[in-house]
Chain A
Amino acid sequence: MEATNPQRLNYWKVTLSGIFKENAIFRLAISLCPAIAVTTGLRTGVLMGVAVVFVNVMVNITVSAIRAFIHPRIRMPIFMLIISGWVTVADLSMAAFAREAYKQMGLYIQLIVAFASIFTRAEIFASKNKIVPSFFDGIGMGVGFMFALIVISFFRELLGKGSLWGVSILGAKPLLIMLLPTGGFLATGILMGFFNWIDIRFYGGKGAGGAGGH
């Protein structure tokens, strides 16, 4: 891993690996719940993505900043405390500034606290690296997550409502099923298959999506 050679860390590479190679949803298949729950529209998808990027970056910075003081024995509860603190911040600000969207996705914002992708980054990366690389790692993982949400919600809103960001584009509603829970599962499954296909076809990978964590 990059973490073994801190002097020559390539920030760009750290960021990119979170977006494509280790994409939380399509490649690692973790933290799936909100990916389906909030992606009925592009707007909610992007808002959720912004919240995740924010929490991911802030947690990484905080953990990295106080990493010298955390005793390894009690690191898990400390990480949990830091994460839930930042999630509360995101939750309350979302409730204040985006009331309409919050009504629809409030529960899922609160559940960011149980994201394995954030916890793993704190554990694997931020607790061993300096603040600046941790910042970029958080950006990469968060943006990767946001990218997946945007792709899924793009297709779901376009096919389900015939619109993008609330603006009507197709003038018809070709596949209403995309707005139902069913559509979320189908869209995610098919996109995951598509990314696996790209991996097999162009990069010679084995194409197996992640084993599934939480």
Chain B
Amino acid sequence: MEKELTKLFEIFIASSLINNFVFTRFLGLCIFFGVTKKVETAVGMSITFTAVMMISAALSWVIFNYIMVPLDLTFLKIVIFIGVIAAFVQSSDTIMRKVSPGLYYKLGVYLALISTNCIILAVPLLNASERYTFLEGITLGLGSGLGFALALVIMASIREKIELADVPAPFKGLPIAFVTTGLIALAFTGFAGIITS
């Protein structure tokens, strides 16, 4: 039991800090640069993302292990995962609009952006290739989601300051954001030594 907990904790730390989706795996960059102009949007986005990542990790784990593996359909994983996630996001969009319009008004805008995002799709694909158990898969989803949230909030806070700085014209906007990300990524390489097994 204790060993399993340690393994889960390791996966959590590894996915949120060491292999941070943005800074070391380079996933979700599009969203990362798109929504990090304001801290408020970044927070809303990260809540939605973490939730969707966990749930889609669980859904696709069940489908992968109980339908695709027995039927020998694992080579279709890209097609199936994309379908599952798109269907799930679309339905939660509809349900949220009916059940809680307040929440929908706050977070629903982000849902539309999610359905075919690489960062969401990466979690089930990683789970499938690592052959994680159900709990490990969900932990990976949670860890990656929180790591992504951390990245978004750090970046948004910095970019609010950059707005006021005098950046050379060719570097205005995205290029300077890239350089900044590079520097944060440098700081994140310091996490690499946390787990030594």
Contact = CB atoms under 8 A, between A and B. Distances in A.
A107 interface: yes
B118 A188 contact: no
Contact of A88 (B33, B79, B125, B178): B79
For the side of the interface on B, what is the size category?
Answer: 35 or more
Contacts of A36: 26, 29
A91 B183 CA distance: 33
Given A189-B178, A193-B175, A214-B31, A184 B26 contact: yes
- Is chain B's interface secondary structure helix, strand, loop, or mixed overall? helix
A119 interface: yes
A57 to B, nearest CB: 18
- Is chain A's interface secondary structure helix, strand, loop, or mixed overall? helix
For the side of the interface on A, what is the size category?
Answer: 35 or more
B78 A84 contact: yes
Interface string B99-134: 000000000000001001110011001100100000
B117 A114 contact: yes
B135 interface: no
B122 A189 contact: no
A33 B30 contact: yes
Contacts of A116: 30
Contacts of B168: 193
A182 B182 contact: yes
A30 B34 CA distance: 10
B43 interface: no
Interface in B141-197: 168-179, 181-183, 185-186, 188-189
B186 A180 contact: yes
B96 interface: no
Contacts of A77: 83, 86
Given A84-B78, A106-B129, A189-B176, 15 more contacts: A30-B30, A31-B30, A111-B118, A116-B30, A181-B182, A181-B189, A185-B178, A185-B179, A186-B182, A188-B178, A189-B174, A193-B168, A193-B170, A207-B169, A208-B173
